[in-house]
């Protein structure tokens, strides 16, 4: 079985809403690869961690296991973890993560849990969450 993808709690919604934008070309390429893996194989396992993760790997703001914006990022992780019922060490598949987001997050929830995120105003996550709630 392949190693799980390592995610900070707030990266579940980032992966859901990803549209090819990011902090650098290396970051975008890495994020695109991770998101494509999840979309191609929804049974891919994800492990929640409380430090920099697989998405953070090429981020220019990364500093070892921390971030230049560590306080803001930790706050996002705490809010997202609480909203999704996730904590460090939890493991779930991407399919289970999407169901959890569908069950626990609405577009209006984002204003609270994503406050302070530079990407919130771009609407990518809001649109992705709205799509989760569309009838099949």
3-class SS of residue 66: strand
Banded pLDDT at 23 (limits 50, 70, 90): confident
Q: Where are the domains of the chain?
A: 5-132
- With beta carbons less than 8 A apart as the criterion, state whether 11 and 77 touch: no
Short-list 13, 38, 18, 28, CA closest to 58: 28
CA distances from 102 to 26, 32, 36 (A): 30, 22, 20
| Stated pTM of the model | 0.90
Question: What pLDDT does 107 receive?
Answer: 87
**Tens digits of per-residue pLDDT, 121-133?**
888 899 999 999 8
For residues 3-27, average pLDDT: 90
Region for residue 116 given its phi and psi (left: phi exceeds 0; alpha: psi -120 to 50; beta: otherwise): left
């Amino acid at each position: 079985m392949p190693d799980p993808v390592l995610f900070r709690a707030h990266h579940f919604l980032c992966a859901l809403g990803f549209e090819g934008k990011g902090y650098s070309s290396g970051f975008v390429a890495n994020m695109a690869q991770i998101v494509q893996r999840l979309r191609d194989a929804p049974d891919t396992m994800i492990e929640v961690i409380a430090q920099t993760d697989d998405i953070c790997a090429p981020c220019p703001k990364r500093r070892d296991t921390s971030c230049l914006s560590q306080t803001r990022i930790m706050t996002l992780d705490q809010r997202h973890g609480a909203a999704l019922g996730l904590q460090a060490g939890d493991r779930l598949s991407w399919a289970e993560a999407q169901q959890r987001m569908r069950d626990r997050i609405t577009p209006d929830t984002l204003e609270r849990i994503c406050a302070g995120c530079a990407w919130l105003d771009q609407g990518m996550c809001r649109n992705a969450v709205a799509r989760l709630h569309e009838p099949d």
